[in-house]
Structure 1
Amino acid sequence: MATVKKIHFKNNINKFFQFFFVQKLIQYINIISIIDYMKPDKILYGKDEFYPNINNKIYNVYKIDNIKKEKYMNRIFKYFIINQKDNINEKHFIGIDFEFNKISKNDRDVAMMQINLENNLEIGYIFLLYPPDLQLKSKKRLIKLLTVSEFIKILHGSESLDIPYLFNQLLIKKKLINKFCKNFYDTKYICDYINTNMKAQTLELKQQDGVVTKSCSIYDFLLDNKIVTKNQINMLEKNEEMMGPIYLININIYKLSDSLFNYTLYDVLYLPELIKKFIDINDNSILIISELSGLVNKYKRNIENKFNNLELQINNINNYFFIYKNKKFTLLNIWNNFYSTINDINIFKNINYFKNFFKIIIKYIVYYNIYLKFNILKKNKEQFLINDFDKYFKWLKLYPNVYKLLLTYNQLTLKYINKEFF
């Protein structure tokens, strides 16, 4: 009897896995069957668009200007998400950009979103879409696509318009924003890091006169990293001349000129190949920049409340002080002296967009170490006491690569305090 039950159980398990496999197969057939049926608005060949021998993909470009194309895009999004789940070791890239229309001196409305989807396949998909016109199902699928933590999301120069739109109007919820920020790279910050590092090395060689900080325009960065050739840059610049200044154009996805169509699709074509140049070399600095990009963007928009609370707390105690050998030392003065002397090998604190973050966080590290060694006094000479000053260190562990960098600052702080006072 037990043997019969065992056979039945085994048969049921086999049937279950057969059913599961068939369902998966049907699911893939349904997805794959629609991938090639819709004629793209344009086809690009990587061998013609990139630096020689780095990209042989075929790119299908779609302008989402009707419901049929929108449904097709929706299915491609679904395929891309499923493919990642079934191929967890395969890198999936999403190049992202936005265009905006000026509606007043200080206000902009989103006019277009551009997305480039790439993985290990020899085909890529570029979609030009207008998010406000998407059906609810498509919008949900778009949000799902953007919030797969494993996807590598790439933008360039996103802080002023792209990120505010993404955070405030598309993703909205903190949980979704946090997922988007996992594996998010802004290549402008990588460019800033490289340029700042080059400038620091030049200054170190005592060649300060004539030092030129290169701009971080996307074209320069692509050219410097051999993503494109000079001829390709010339073609892109000629297209811009034909199009006219982008800020003077009222963009309507349903009425795109050929030059504007080309301009917008090329904004995302090169981003995945560009980021591969850096993530493939396993440089920890790039991981730090990725974490900083998400962290700083969140705190600047009051999404990361712990940092905002820390900033408020730190600024309130700048003028608190301690007494050592009958001499008064304010916290702010100690920080100023320390900050001006530390040699930051990774020079992240010199990147403009990260400067305020590092000022606050290094103040916290300095003040925290002083707090552990001295009695800190308020203006009225009442002792300053706080019970949860170390909670911010625990929170920063959510950003492991940034946290490791901050531990080096902590060691430098301890060394400085011991040298100055003990």
Structure 2
Amino acid sequence: MLSNLTLLTFCAVLAVLGLIAFVVARAKALRTRQAGVAMYAQPDQYAWFSVLATAGPAILVGAVGAFVMLLLGAEIPTPYLLAASLVIAAIGLFVGVMQVRPDFHARQAIERVIRLALACAALVSIVTTFGILLSIISEAIRFFQMQSLWDFLTGTTWAPGDSFLAAAGRGGEVESVAQFGSVPLFVGTFIISLIAMLVAIPVGLLAAIYMAEFAPPRIRTLAKPVLEVLAGIPTVVYGFFAAITVAPIIVDFAGFFGLDASYNNALAPGVVMGIMIIPFISSLSDDVINAVPDSMREGSLALGMTKSETIKSVVLPASLPGIISASLLAVSRALGETMIVVMAAGMRPNLTANPLEDMTTVTVRIVAALTGDQEFESAETLSAFALGLVLFVVTLALNMVSVLMIRRFREKYRTNTL
């Protein structure tokens, strides 16, 4: 209760100091202007600069202090930290008011602060990515100290067995050697993702072309929101749909042709996952296609090309970089899906290329390794970080390939249009 009251008091005092800075700086700027002196900025701009000079350093000091306390474990009394922040705010108020003078570019100073804030916001994602990578690498190294990296990357059997007993100091009770071959997991991941993309990309792209080029405004207004509703359905609902509806249909359909299919097969979650990510491709592709200038369409039609030929030869090449980006986003979504696979494909690592058999994915094994009462120091638990690291590298490689493809198509299209 004391902490909440202290924090509220700090916010109230800081707000009052900011209000004082605004009023005093604006009044000083108005007096200077009324005296007939030319100034580089408007009175309100000097006032807002004073507010930034007052509140900005104080908030920064408080944030740095909280960071030091939370992550580094330093003992800094909260009242002292907030009091120091208010002292900084008072100093900033004085400096901000003193900067109200004719030769000071307040507008440029505000723009520099805004530019710095935007750069920091962009930096957050980069720092977060490196933080995630470092946390994964640190635990993955511990796993590779227990297991061979080569066997992990090339092994064809995933059987953790009783590896948690060895971590608990009961290695004598282990009956078999644990095997951590990740090939079955990545094969299952790629097969299910490939099935999903074979469903999502054609349907999503064709739906985007129809809505952007052929659909009347009334149908487009109704169809696009309905299509995007698919993106908001929880994945557990898709899992029920895959396990209860799609999987039995696939089994019956395969039996009609004399094929054996398991109710926990890879085809069902792949198809349902493809349906789930259709909105990612259709919505983004629709926006990209609509961004193509109408002058390009009109020029193509004026040269005698039909509408279909215009879409094929002009619209799609111009929007191809955006379509590739949308497809990449869908691939990343498919690689990270877990619930649908658990409910429809099972959790058995099975090295097979037959989509009618059961198999599992990397993310499913990560969840299985990090849940339950497993010993955290065991190889099975630490294997989740090794799987996550390899999946991160695979996703990064896909991103790099897509960036190269986008640049190539942009250069090719730019060359053809010059």
TM over 0.5: no
TM-score for both structures, normalised by structure 2: 0.22
- Larger proportion of helix: 2
- Larger proportion of strand: 1
Return the index of the structure with the highest Cα Rg.
2
Structure of higher RCO (CA pairs closer than 8 Å, 6+ residues apart): 2
TM-score for both structures, normalised by structure 1: 0.21
